[in-house]
Amino acid sequence: MSWTPVPEPEPEREWWNDAPPPEDAPPSEDAPPEDRPPGDAPTGDAPLEADYVPSESNYVPSEPFASNTGDLSSNPALLTSTRPSQFPSDTDGRETLHRVFGFEEFRGDQGAIVEHVIAGGDAVVLMPTGGGKSLCYQIPSLVRPGTGIVVSPLIALMQDQVDALTAVGVRAAFLNSTQDAATRSAVERDYLAGNLDLLYVAPERLSSEATKSFLSRGRIALFAIDEAHCVSQWGHDFRPDYLTLSELADRWPDVPRIALTATATEATHIEITERLRLDRARHFVSDFDRPNIQYRIVPKADVRGQLLRFITGEHAGDAGIVYALSRNTVERTAEYLTANGLNALPYHAGLDAGTRARTQSRFLREDGVIVVATIAFGMGIDKPDVRFVAHIDLPKSVEGYYQETGRAGRDGMPSTAWLAYGLGDVVQQRRMIDESPGDLAHRRRQSAHLDAMLALCETVHCRRIDLLGYFGQSSGPCGNCDTCLVPPESWDGTVPAQKFLSTIVRLQRERGQKFGAGQLIDILRGKQTPRTEQHRHDTIATWGIGADLSESQWRGVVRQMLAQGLLRSEGEYGTLAITDASGQVLGGERTVTLRRDPERVRVAKSSRTAPTGTAGEELSAAAGELFDRLRAWRSETARAAGVPAYIVFGDATLRQLATARPSAMTDLDGITGIGAKKKESYGQAILEVLSSAT
């Protein structure tokens, strides 16, 4: 077969918006340092950070989607290449799962999805991070004749994805703008010769007519559209080139397509189906519970100090991700953690590509690295042993929060999702929505997202019930979130709310003045300051009538009033004003129930133990020592191969080895994660490590 190099398309983008960093907003002079909108906070609806874009999250429909796969058959035009396959087409998915990937059983819907796609059906798959989405297209690509074409926006991660497949004996490659012409030409030749099982491409490349013509000359097993939520024009992750993927249905009508995402709301789920023309697809929506993740939300005070105590006290030496809204906060937080002895690196779209690549590489390949990042970081990161995800600024939506926290504990072992949340977060987010350049409908959508996030923060019930309920999934108390471990009290805050609202009204009506939370609290507590003296606020009728509450208690009251829509913030400095709902409180027609913030939440030690039957069961002293030896061997092996440690083996496999202590090659067959290729590559070395410890 003749071959002509494919012309280069427009460069694939590493992130969504190349605009300069948003200007920093001045702080609210009324807010104290620990709780004010940070001086480095972006103003308005500034472009958000992303390695391509930030993210929405997942939706579980209340009613199942109908399935109609139709009568699908092979396209004769694609039967021109001969494929010397190591995976015969009559091999079933489960046998491939065991022989190639070293797993005995599929999890959840994996088996049904694999069987459906192998048979030629289209599929839309919503599955949480760590749920095993990749196997849903990798195994069908190995079983079906031809090459599986994987569309992924994450060009920076394609090399690691290919390395992980190569390590288990899969013939995988990618085509993107990071390669030189000779490398691209070699990959193209392999594809045309039928020597590839999977080929990764970016959506920008696949939108090129030259690329589509090139692919038509080979045999395609399936199209896998990863991060399919990028097709949604309502989502923050929108990639215009994803819209062109609908053309695949016309050009290759008999090639199955599978769209996968962990980040779909109801509207996005529907939009994926419509825009990718997957109306005949079968829909698979998985259980979104991640029982190994402990959810914790704490009142924000000295947030960097709180973060440091959390990491050193509970996750010393662990890999983790810390999210912040602005680049300045990212830089300062990384510097603070580094100055306090932690291995912390900043990551945001304002850094040059080389720095970002080095940070990503160190995070994937080294143990105990902490990345402090905007939401530019994390999408597609397949590091299984991230033990914590921390947010030091309030996420803009439950979808984003769920997706970002889901990057912890992909290996099923105990992990923590920690969020510090304060009054300044509410003021800042409300102001950004009010100043958004979008239309009224857009601002209403943003407000609805924020209201749901605030409700999750302020709940007195199990957080997991509220989190899963947002996606339409019912559940019971989890026993592994802060509100289950240390149930918060609720109290009648009607009188304090009336006092606060009355102060706002009197200042506005009597003096034409508006202030932020700090000044209003000083008035209520009767605190003499230069500003209260300057404005003679000690002559106001509400002066000192709130002295029964501390400043931190008042800030909790104001935060929750904002969350309940009883207050609104205005202008650049976050001055507070009443809302339509305030009148009901002032008139005594509405009771204001508030959550009492605990002074200090001490989490029970038992929360660090994984649920029964998971990979987190405690190792004996002897097994623990052997586990450490295996980790050291894995690190050396990965370093020599130039790949992340998890590509050699995950912690779950090493724990099983340390417990089972196999002594012969045949004993390795039942160990999770050891397939034929890895047994051949590493089996003897593993046995030597185990025998040396006896």
CATH number of the domain bearing residue 238: 3.40.50.300
Is the domain of 116 the same as that of 244?
yes
Between residues 609 and 542, which one has the greater pLDDT? 542
Count of C-beta atoms within a 10 Å radius of residue 346: 26
Is the domain of 548 the same as that of 679?
no
**Strand pairing report for 257-261 and 220-225:** parallel
Mean pLDDT of 80-102: 65
Q: Is 460 helix (H, G, I), strand (E, B) or coil?
A: coil
Is the domain of 149 the same as that of 277?
yes
Please, which pLDDT band fits residue 155 given cuts at 50, 70 and 90? confident
Is the domain of 359 the same as that of 387?
yes
Query: CA 26 to CA 182: how far, in whole Å?
Result: 51
Q: Is the pLDDT of residue 125 over 80?
A: yes
Is the domain of 384 the same as that of 322?
yes
From 437, 462, 486, the end of a domain falls on 486
Query: CA 449 to CA 429: how far, in whole Å?
Result: 11
Query: CA 623 to CA 629: how far, in whole Å?
Result: 10
Q: Is 307 helix (H, G, I), strand (E, B) or coil?
A: helix
Q: What is the pLDDT of residues 661-685, one digit of tens each?
A: 999 999 998 898 899 999 999 999 9
532: amino acid identity, one letter: T
Q: Is residue 30 part of a domain?
A: no
Residues forming beta bridges with residue 144, ordered by sequence position:
none
Is the domain of 232 the same as that of 360?
no
Is the domain of 359 the same as that of 320?
yes
CB distance 279 to 70 below 8 Å:
no
Query: CA 671 to CA 665: how far, in whole Å?
Result: 11
Q: What is the pLDDT of residues 640-652, one digit of tens each?
A: 988 888 889 888 8
Between residues 261 and 38, which one has the greater pLDDT? 261
Q: Is residue 197 part of a domain?
A: yes
Count of C-beta atoms within a 10 Å radius of residue 213: 12
> What does pTM read for this prediction?
0.75
Between residues 642 and 333, which one has the greater pLDDT? 333
Please, which pLDDT band fits residue 231 given cuts at 50, 70 and 90? confident
Residues forming beta bridges with residue 389, ordered by sequence position:
321, 417
Is the domain of 215 the same as that of 331?
no
Mean pLDDT of 90-102: 84
Query: CA 430 to CA 428: how far, in whole Å?
Result: 6
Q: Is 274 helix (H, G, I), strand (E, B) or coil?
A: helix
Q: Is the pLDDT of residue 70 over 50?
A: no
Given this model, what pLDDT does residue 368 score?
Answer: 92
Going by C-alpha positions, the residue among 415, 535, 372 that lies closest to residue 40 is 372
Count of C-beta atoms within a 10 Å radius of residue 186: 12
Please, which pLDDT band fits residue 287 given cuts at 50, 70 and 90? confident
Q: What is the pLDDT of residues 173-191, one digit of tens each?
A: 999 888 899 999 999 999 9
The number of folded domains in the chain is: 4
The encoded tokens of residue 43 equal 């103003």
Q: What is the pLDDT of residues 349-378, one digit of tens each?
A: 899 989 998 999 899 888 899 999 998 787
Is the domain of 534 the same as that of 551?
yes
Please, which pLDDT band fits residue 41 given cuts at 50, 70 and 90? very low
CB distance 615 to 650 below 8 Å:
no
Reported as type and span, the H/E element at residue 140 is helix 135-143
Backbone angles phi, psi at 161, to 5 degrees: -65, -40
**The CATH number of the domain where 680 resides is what?**
1.10.150.80
Q: Give the residue numbers spanning the domain of 417.
A: 293-486
Rg over CA atoms, the chain: 27
Q: Is 400 helix (H, G, I), strand (E, B) or coil?
A: helix
Q: Is residue 507 part of a domain?
A: yes
Which of 72-76, 331-335, 529-533 has the weakest average pLDDT? Answer: 72-76
Plot region of 408 (φ>0 → left; ψ -120 to 50 → alpha; else → beta): beta
Given this model, what pLDDT does residue 22 score?
Answer: 35
Is the domain of 94 the same as that of 234?
yes
pLDDT cut 90: percent of the chain above it = 50
Q: Is the pLDDT of residue 139 over 70?
A: yes
Query: CA 570 to CA 510: how far, in whole Å?
Result: 19
Given this model, what pLDDT does residue 8 score?
Answer: 52
Q: C-alpha dihedral over 77, 81, 85, 89, to 10 degrees?
A: 20
Q: Mean pLDDT of all residues in the chain?
A: 82
Instruction: Give the Cα-Cα-Cα angle 603, 607, 611 (nearest 5 degrees).
Output: 165
CB distance 671 to 164 below 8 Å:
no
- Give the up-direction half-sphere exposure of residue 8: CA atoms within 13 A in the CB hemisphere: 12
From 285, 313, 345, the end of a domain falls on 285
- Give the up-direction half-sphere exposure of residue 402: CA atoms within 13 A in the CB hemisphere: 30
CB distance 503 to 514 below 8 Å:
no
From 240, 262, 285, the end of a domain falls on 285
Render the burial of 358-396: b for 16+ CB within 10 Å, e for the rest. ebbbebbbeeebbbbbbbbbbbbbbbbbbbbbbbbbbbb
Mean pLDDT of 593-597: 84
Q: Is the pLDDT of residue 86 over 70?
A: no
From the centroid of its chain, how far is CA 617? 25
CB distance 671 to 662 below 8 Å:
yes
3-state secondary structure 436-456: CCCCHHHHHHHHHHHHHHHHH
Render the burial of 639-675: b for 16+ CB within 10 Å, e for the rest. eeeebbbbbbbbbbbbbbbbeebbeeeeebbebbbbb
- For residue 371, CA distances in Å to 38, 216, 315 come to 20, 41, 14
Given this model, what pLDDT does residue 236 score?
Answer: 54
Q: Is the pLDDT of residue 619 over 80?
A: yes
Backbone angles phi, psi at 415, to 5 degrees: -145, 165
Between residues 35 and 421, which one has the greater pLDDT? 421
Backbone angles phi, psi at 225, to 5 degrees: -105, 100
Q: Is residue 57 part of a domain?
A: no
Mean pLDDT of 521-548: 93
Is the domain of 138 the same as that of 116?
yes
Query: CA 506 to CA 514: how far, in whole Å?
Result: 10
Residue with tokens 């300069």: 20
Given this model, what pLDDT does residue 288 score?
Answer: 84
Q: What is the torsional sign of CA 126, 132, 138, 144?
A: negative
Given this model, what pLDDT does residue 57 score?
Answer: 31
Instruction: Give the Cα-Cα-Cα angle 195, 196, 202 (nearest 5 degrees).
Output: 145
Residue with tokens 């590559």: 681
Is the domain of 352 the same as that of 271?
no
Q: Is residue 48 part of a domain?
A: no
Q: What is the pLDDT of residues 251-267, one digit of tens each?
A: 999 999 999 988 766 77
Q: Is residue 11 part of a domain?
A: no
